[in-house]
Amino acid sequence: MTYRYKVALIFLIGFFIDCINIFMSAVALPSIAHDMQVSTSSVAWVANAYILGLTLIIPVSTWLAGRFGSREILTASMLLFSGAVWMCGMAGSFHELVIWRFVQGIGGGLLIPVGQALTFNLFQGPQRAKISTLVMAVALIAPAISPTIGGVIVDSSSWRWVFHSNIPFSLIAAALSWLWIKEARPASLARPDIKGLLLVSTALGSLLMGMSLYGGDYPPLAALSCLMLGVICVVLYVLHYRRCDNAIVELSLLKSKKLSTSIFIYYAIPGVFTGVNLLSIFFLQNSLHFSAKLTGMFMILYASGAFIAMLVCGRVYNRFGARRLFTLGMLLHSAGIATLYLVDSAADLPIIVIAYCLMGIGGGIGANTAQTTSLMDFQGADTHKGSVIWNINRQMSFSIGAALFLMIYNLLLASLASTPAYHLTFVIAAVMGLLPLLQMSNLTTQKECHAQHNR
């Protein structure tokens, strides 16, 4: 195995662990709530704490890799992750579980952007599409299989083993990182942007906290205060960025149409799908009385459609270009979401199958194209900086998607019955998933891109 594929394998293992921890733990939430006697809104912090820790550490991960070395950081991240998941499984109280989930997220957040930057720097040009296809295959296979596996673990043993089952993967990633990574440390390293780090961390933490509080049983003023604090910190960071020579998040990279469009697409497809799928789970189980196992199996349909789409997308990306693939992906994905509007009873199972297949195919095309396109304009250190922005976006899109559509559904419940509220939320989601179409004219076509390089 060549060096670049060794690095890619380490990143893919870490990425797989990250994905299954978002989706597998969700299956265990009812058991955790029952065992630890907490409410549904409170138990959501098992997921929120992980995403919060993951998101807050991403901005500083690149500096840490430069300061201590990529090999050392990747190894330490997986060892920290291993210890944290063990403690999650051993937690004696809910607050202890939430704290260790936060630590677990820190471990995962160190590996993802560093591993992605190392990998993408080794795969340039047309090869970027191939490695992006592997990345997105992991991003879809993990959510497809992890709910079913998690359900089997919970039913046959305990929710604690949902966390313990991660340990072999994280220890393997730690060992391979130490043995295989050979990246040299930079000769000189700029002083870290501590003020920027504090502003970015406070902004992300406040925004996630505000959205989580709004979706739970908390006073609206508390949620609004957190959201306002997050917005204020964003404004303060922009002002700070203009005066700082080595800002922790390099906003100038957003001038890249490829990166900014890919970010928009990620909110419109994976972000929207996260919220739609969460609502769909409640709709199918609570309104149509489907079993949890059957509900989880629809993700297999989604992943199958997405996997096939990604294989095709990886082959045709350089011929058709990002603009056409983005457009096709959005249209198919939103068509699948809109199809859920037609579901009224358990007899509509074939319609649900069609909906998830369409969402899977469209999601596979859109997400894979975004992953391929996002960092295409960057090389070297800029790839690391772009990876930080991209991975913050990836995590935030999941959180915002879930919070946004739960909020919309709850607002609609004030004037509609449960099923019509679900239906109208799906329609709104389908429309919102098409918003990036307005930006497609700004994206350089593949042929134009080749012409610019040839001049």
Structural domain count of the chain: 3
Whether residues 10 and 145 fall in one domain: yes
pLDDT value for 448: 43
Q: Within a domain: residue 364?
A: yes
Confidence of residue 193 (pLDDT cuts 50, 70, 90): confident
Domain boundary at 247, 272, 291, which? 247
The model's pLDDT over 412-432, given as tens digits with 9 standing for 90+, comes to 887 899 899 999 999 999 999
pLDDT at 13 over 80: yes
What does pLDDT average to over the chain?
83
Whether residues 82 and 182 fall in one domain: yes
Whether residues 231 and 302 fall in one domain: no
Domain boundary at 202, 220, 247, which? 247
The CA distance from 452 to 455, in Å, is 5
Whether residues 124 and 203 fall in one domain: no
pLDDT value for 249: 79
pLDDT at 30 over 60: yes
The model's pLDDT over 272-298, given as tens digits with 9 standing for 90+, comes to 998 888 788 778 877 888 876 777 778
Confidence of residue 447 (pLDDT cuts 50, 70, 90): very low
Q: Is the dihedral of CA 409, 414, 418, 421 positive or negative?
A: negative
Whether residues 399 and 311 fall in one domain: yes
Whether residues 333 and 401 fall in one domain: yes
Whether residues 283 and 426 fall in one domain: yes
The CATH number of the domain holding residue 60 is 1.20.1250.20
Whether residues 330 and 236 fall in one domain: no
pLDDT value for 141: 76
The residue range of the domain holding 278 is 255-450
Whether residues 205 and 172 fall in one domain: no
Whether residues 163 and 23 fall in one domain: yes
Read off the DSSP letter of residue 183: P
Domain boundary at 247, 274, 293, which? 247
Q: What average pLDDT does range 49-72 have in this prediction?
A: 80
The CA distance from 69 to 7, in Å, is 14
Whether residues 294 and 395 fall in one domain: yes
Give the best-scoring range by mean pLDDT among 69-73, 140-144, 299-303, 438-442: 69-73
pLDDT value for 452: 39
The model's pLDDT over 315-364, given as tens digits with 9 standing for 90+, comes to 788 888 888 899 999 999 999 999 999 999 989 999 999 999 999 999 98
Q: Nearest to residue 332, comparing CAs of 360, 370, 298?
A: 360
Q: Within a domain: residue 455?
A: no
pLDDT at 123 over 50: yes
pLDDT value for 328: 93
pLDDT value for 454: 42
The CA distance from 286 to 292, in Å, is 10
| Conformation bin of residue 39: beta by default, left when phi > 0, alpha when psi is -120 to 50 | beta
